[in-house]
Amino acid sequence: MPLDGTEPGLGKGRVMQAQAAKQFSFRLPVGLVDRVEQCMDHLQATGLEVTRADVVRMLLKHALDATHCKVERLLGGGGRGSKERARKRRP
């Protein structure tokens, strides 16, 4: 797969799912959906053919890769306070 996320032979800029998928269904706050749609518009303006689902997959993958699910990275700040707040939330 080329670095731009396109599949060979699928047309310029088309982002496609390259792996088998499992469907998730969940609700998002309107403000978050608006941000996803703004991101989608920005990517489409560069010539990529992306759907809202493509953008959510890309953003989710990026967040998981960037944070490695480390609580201090997920909650921000990275200080002790973040860890202590997260620990207090656990049942």
Overall residue count recorded for the chain in this entry? 91
In tens, the pLDDT along 31-74 reads 999 999 999 999 999 999 999 999 999 999 999 999 999 999 88
Q: Answer whether 0.85 is exceeded by the pTM.
A: no
Q: What is the pLDDT of residue 51?
A: 95
User: What is the 8-class DSSP label of residue 68?
Assistant: T
If one counts every other C-beta atom within 10 angstroms of the C-beta of residue 5, the result is 16
Q: Which residues of 54-75 are buried (b: 16+ CB within 10 A; e: fewer)?
A: bbbebeeeeeeeeeeeeeeeeb
pLDDT at residue 58 in the model: 95
The reported pLDDT for the residue numbered 4 is: 45
- The domain spans of the chain are 30-89
